[in-house]
Amino acid sequence: MKQQHSQQQVYVIGVACTPFGRFAETSFKELTRDAYLEVLADAGLDDGGEIEQAWFGNCGLGAVGQSSIRGQVCFTPLVRDGLFPERVPIINVEGGCATASMAFHGAWKDILSGQCELSLAIGVEKTWFPEDASITQRIFDGGIDQLDRSEWIAYYRQAGAVAGKPFEPEQAKGTVFMDTYAMQAAYHMKTWGTTREHIATAAAKNHDMGALNDKAQYRFRMTPEQVLQDREISWPLTRSMCAPIGDGAAAALLCSEAFLRRQTPAVQERAIKISASVLSGGKYRALDEPSLSAVAAQRAYAQAGIAPADVSVAEVHDATSFCEIYQAEMMGFCEPGQGGPFVASGGTSLGGRIPINLSGGLVSKGHPIGATGLSMIYEVAGQLRGEAGERQSQGADIGLIENGGGVMGFDEAACSVVILRR
């Protein structure tokens, strides 16, 4: 990818995130309203009258019958109430767990291209349907190839044999995704000596952080020992190492420098510059081949003109706690194979060399898939603004967000890496 030469600067002027959790009685439209009104307030805007385009991210609405015009449907009540402008185009996007990051990327390009001065990215999701668990299953099934299941079954059988963890889909306790992460963890353990204790340390750290986050789905502390003693999901992973099912929404308002100059000094002071936004695509890679996230990270560093050592705080996609270990390596925060010892040393903890997932990560904050990427933007923006309270990383000035979605072999199907700067 060529380095960006445009002089157009793009800023995050507002961020929002609803509490994450299991809200069976809360509708998609209600979650949309909550996140939208919060992002307006955070941006210091009385209304959304100057929004020129919106990007709506969602995975679950198709499973309940709304396969098209998802954003338009969810925003209709807001338009009717005069809270969202009429005739504004809404672009619907979906990329598995990277959905909200794709919405963010679209809004970023709106501003970067000069087509808009103010663009909205919003991700809205419900995956908790206690009255009909098959809805949840359909949502997650959509994140892996349903047209040629034999391809990935063959890949995982071969990979499982190499990793020392046989792939037995007929014995799966839930979705296939935790089994794929478990195989990756087993391979990493076999290759580099990573231990279950390393993974448990990452999980416990994030549960401790989640306990301090009033938006988090799980707000309780855990010790590594408690994590290891929890119910096994797919060896070596226990329940406490895995992201929960839940609901929520998150949003961001992106603007041009010209728009920002017209705002109040208080709004200007809280604006965050976007130094890079990169997407990459997955493939059926070799087990020892770097992931698509490593590719995206290198492109993002080049786009931002920085090195991994310049990053002061990060949110990475820990659908399982093993992922924090692995992504620390892929982001270049430590050497390949050293993610486990790096986590165990406190390197990713608050006050460590590169604090990661101070939100509590997906395993504690929660993971409503269509909203996750923007919730990570919300956390890092708060860190860079110095507004994270007890979770604040002192002196944070450059933040990285890595968010993957869907599954393609040992890769995600899509990955986003964003770099924000104070």
Q: Distance between CA atoms of 216 and 289, rounded to whole angstroms?
A: 34
In this structure, are residues 250 and 379 in contact, taking their beta carbons and an 8 Å threshold? Answer: no
What lies within 8 Å, CB to CB, of 216 at 6+ separation is 19, 20, 210, 359, 360, 364, 365, 366
Distance CA 40, CA 120 (A): 10
Would you give the DSSP letter of residue 310? Answer: G
Determine if the pTM surpasses 0.85. Answer: yes
Average the pLDDT over 94-102 and give the result.
Answer: 98
Percent of the chain residues past pLDDT 70, beyond the cut: 97
pLDDT in tens, 41-71: 999 999 999 999 999 999 999 999 999 999 9
Alpha-carbon gap, residue 14 to 264, rounded angstroms: 13
Q: How far is Cα 397 from Cα 422, in angstroms, rounded to an integer?
A: 5
CB atoms within 10 A of CB 230: 17
- Which 3-state string (H, E, C) describes 220-261? CCCCHHHHHHCCEEECCEEHHHECCCCEEEEEEEEEEHHHHH
Mean pLDDT calculated for residue range 246-262: 98
Residue 5 has pLDDT above 60, yes or no: no
pLDDT value at residue 30: 98
Of residues 249 and 176, more confidence is placed in 249
Q: Is the pLDDT of residue 4 over 60?
A: no
Q: Where do the domains of the chain lie, and which CATH numbers do they carry?
A: 10-131+246-274 (3.40.47.10), 146-244+275-421 (3.40.47.10)
- Alpha carbon dihedral 340, 346, 347, 353, in 10-degree steps, equals 180
Average pLDDT score over the chain: 95
Contacts of 360 (CB under 8 A, 6+ apart): 206, 207, 209, 210, 211, 212, 213, 216, 218
What tokens were used for 379?
């956390």
Mean pLDDT to the nearest integer, 224-253:
97
The tens digit of pLDDT for each residue in 112-161 reads: 999 999 999 999 999 999 999 999 999 999 999 999 999 999 999 999 99
The residue-averaged pLDDT of 248-265 equals 98
